[in-house]
Structure 1
Amino acid sequence: MTVSVAVIGAGYWGPNLARNFAGSSEWNLAAICDLDLDRAEALSARFGGVRVATDLADVLADPTIDAVAIATPARTHHAVALQAIAAGKHVVVEKPIADSSERAHEMVDAAHAAGVVLMTDHTYCYTPAVRKIRDLIAAGELGDILFVDSVRINLGLIQPDVDVFWDLAPHDLSIIDFVLPGGLRPIGVGALGADPLGAGKACIGYLTLPLPSGAIAHAHVNWLSPTKVRQMIIGGSRRTLVWDDLNPQQRISVYDRGVDLQTQALDSLERRVATVSYRLGDTWAPALSEREALDAMVSEFAAAILEGREAHTDGDAGLRVLAVLEAASRSLARGGDLSVLETAEPELAGGAR
């Protein structure tokens, strides 16, 4: 069974979505919608001349279209998604899910009330490497998670409308949310940033996220590094995993190395005595499948619709990432003080994460 979809927005990301929907056996790319008719027609021509529209209402009124993929500016996500949901369409939205947690909440609530799928296109979560990391953690291969340390730095384009946290950190936050059991739910967020160029916004940033288990997550983002690094280290009580996204030969390495700490009985001065031992075991690299992340994402979108369940990166996942970014902005404005997340997820009647 195939599902019919319209891509809303033919600019930067829309062509990537259209290509993967058109190439999937699970989907029928039914329409391209964009305010710029020439741009929409140019994209349509690449896929056999699918229907073109400049009016969103025309697309949403078509009963043969089951879903929409929104690839428009973030400030428009809320309005477009609510119109689609009201029309009974399933929705996938490119990141960020909305430009504020309040609006994202409205989208999540509306989707649940309408019984449609709302999915966030956290593309990195559908790479073979990140899916493998999620599987290894779920299987207990790393043990209890003790820390997550992520680095995403490069000599990048300074964005005119957002700082480095909002530009780069959503990737790391969405990955951490995807791989941690129960998602990313920090006690608070601490953010320190620097603007050494006088650009008017943070170009270098550090995020600290204490987790309820006592573990800690940390992310370093930087537009000014002459070298490009995409790396995440996840330390567990049993093993430690290193993901190097720029190493195609060995993207994931699992180290059977770590520290074992055992607390002994009280000594003569009633002090607890700890015995520390170091574990130096083997290193191995799990095999990874070869599949484009967006292809896996559109497949998951179809599966969620056909199976009547939440997508792996559902609206709540988008909301959790957005809430952390907003808390980071508050912390940054206060000089790095820990900011408590103000957004709690809505109560759900059911459904898996």
Structure 2
Amino acid sequence: MSEEQLSPVRVGQIGYGYWGPNLARNLAQMPETELAALADLDENARARAAQVHPTAAIHTNAEALLQDPSLEAIVIAAPARFHFPLALAALEADKHVFVEKPLAMNLEDAQRLARLAEERGRVLMVGHVFEYNPAVSYVKAALERGDLGELYYLYSRRVNLGRVQSDINALWSIAPHDVSIALFLLEQMPVAVSCQGAACLNGQVEDVVFLTLHFPGNVLCHIHASWLDPSKQRKMTVVGSKRMIVYDDVAAEGKIRVYDKGVYRRGDPIYGEYQYRVHSGDILMPRIDMVEPLRAELTDFARAIRTDQKPVADGWDGVRVVAVLTAAQASLQRGGVQVSLDDIWQVK
């Protein structure tokens, strides 16, 4: 193995606001990376960054990082509206790029980034952190083994009181997590999407959305996302013909519960009607060896740079999520009508 492959990846991070400190903490602590520089427009954010990361160079703007030839990779934790222009500039500067979700605010921009990364031979990765969550991986493995039988439907709730946004709605701010989980679990795109929501606080952006993904085989995925809810919930239920799984991300223990429950049809119909039997067995709480998903995600980013292996949440993973969000936004603007994904791809 070459000296370059063994050496940590020198990283510059843009943005040290809400989520930025978590990224910077991991980048500074990981042996695979060196947090060499940070940039933020806010003076207070820069002061906090300098105090926590005294060895990193602190800059007022992103341009200083993009022009630094010693930086191999750029991590972007800026507001969503800046994701595309910053990622584009970083790729054009021949940097590897990690950008928080969503990859971009429209499908055309997302596709442009993914194509440019391929053309430049750069790693482009998106912050779909739950694809690195061991509990989500457990659900995926159970589906692949057929433990649940035929998959019927799944639904999720990602709600809390705050963090309220004014420039982006709950669909683009919160729902990308659950969209990415659904695509990760099912390994296919929905054929159509429908979405409804309400702008309760300022009348401009939706504070709550109800999103339904229609997958092949009549499998439905329903997503409820909001920052205007009395309780914090991050829960997904997956229902199959043999078993059901509940994944509760905020549970202190028992993040996964496997329910040996189902409904079975008995033989031939009697007087033209089928008879059904409800089965209710044990509840299993498997041991899940949890690691910090963000650490696993950034490790995958560094490994992809050093080994040329495709990361789990690569640029095209980000494109697929943006395609679903684009269809959902179109449905939202049209009162919840079902929007075909084929129409979205053709338009773009």
TM over 0.5, shorter chain: yes
1:39-50 aligned within 5 A: 39-40=45-46, 42-50=48-56
Distance in 2 (alpha carbons) for counterparts of 1:83 and 1:77: 10
Q: Relative to 1, partners in 2 of residues 1:292 and 1:208: Cα closer, same or farther, differing over 3 Å?
A: same
Name the structure 2 match of 1:336: 336
CA deviation profile, 1:75-102 (whole Å, cap 9, x unmatched): 2222221222122221110111112111
Name the structure 1 match of 2:40: 34
CA deviation profile, 1:282-340 (whole Å, cap 9, x unmatched): 22112112322211111111122223122111112222222222212211222211012
Distance in 2 (alpha carbons) for counterparts of 1:35 and 1:162: 20
Name the structure 2 match of 1:171: 177
Q: Relative to 1, partners in 2 of residues 1:166 and 1:263: Cα closer, same or farther, differing over 3 Å?
A: farther
Name the structure 1 match of 2:243: 239
In structure 2, what residue type is equivalent to 1:336? G
What secondary structure sits across from 1:229 in the alignment? strand
1:1-353 aligned within 5 A: 1=6, 2-36=8-42, 39-40=45-46, 42-180=48-186, 182-183=187-188, 185-195=189-199, 199-261=203-265, 264=268, 274=274, 276-341=276-341, 342-344=343-345
In structure 2, what residue type is equivalent to 1:151? R
Report the Cα offset of residue 60 of structure 1.
Answer: 3.0
What secondary structure sits across from 1:213 in the alignment? helix
* TM-score normalised over the length of structure 1: 0.86
Distance in 2 (alpha carbons) for counterparts of 1:204 and 1:62: 41
Contact 1:37 1:53 in 2 (8 A): no
Q: Relative to 1, partners in 2 of residues 1:194 and 1:31: Cα closer, same or farther, differing over 3 Å?
A: closer
Distance in 1 (alpha carbons) for counterparts of 2:208 and 2:63: 42
Contact 1:27 1:302 in 2 (8 A): yes
Q: Relative to 1, partners in 2 of residues 1:224 and 1:66: Cα closer, same or farther, differing over 3 Å?
A: closer
Name the structure 2 match of 1:350: none
Contact 2:98 2:124 in 1 (8 A): yes
Contact 2:151 2:239 in 1 (8 A): yes
CA deviation profile, 1:239-264 (whole Å, cap 9, x unmatched): 21101222212111011211234775
Contact 1:117 1:309 in 2 (8 A): no
In structure 2, what residue type is equivalent to 1:10? Y
Identity %: 39
Q: Relative to 1, partners in 2 of residues 1:36 and 1:221: Cα closer, same or farther, differing over 3 Å?
A: closer
In structure 1, what residue type is equivalent to 2:121? G
Report the Cα offset of residue 56 of structure 1.
Answer: 3.5
Unaligned runs of 5+ in 2: 1-5
Q: Relative to 1, partners in 2 of residues 1:143 and 1:306: Cα closer, same or farther, differing over 3 Å?
A: farther
Q: Relative to 1, partners in 2 of residues 1:194 and 1:58: Cα closer, same or farther, differing over 3 Å?
A: closer
Contact 1:235 1:241 in 2 (8 A): yes
Greater mean alpha carbon deviation, residues 250-259 or residues 201-210 = 201-210
Name the structure 1 match of 2:3: none
- Structure ranking higher in helix proportion: 2
| Number of equivalences | 339
What secondary structure sits across from 1:259 in the alignment? strand
CA deviation profile, 1:169-188 (whole Å, cap 9, x unmatched): 222112212222x24x1111
CA deviation profile, 1:161-208 (whole Å, cap 9, x unmatched): 23332332222112212222x24x111111122345673443332111
Q: Relative to 1, partners in 2 of residues 1:225 and 1:18: Cα closer, same or farther, differing over 3 Å?
A: closer
What secondary structure sits across from 2:24 in the alignment? helix
Distance in 2 (alpha carbons) for counterparts of 1:203 and 1:62: 40
In structure 2, what residue type is equivalent to 1:21? L
Distance in 2 (alpha carbons) for counterparts of 1:20 and 1:154: 25
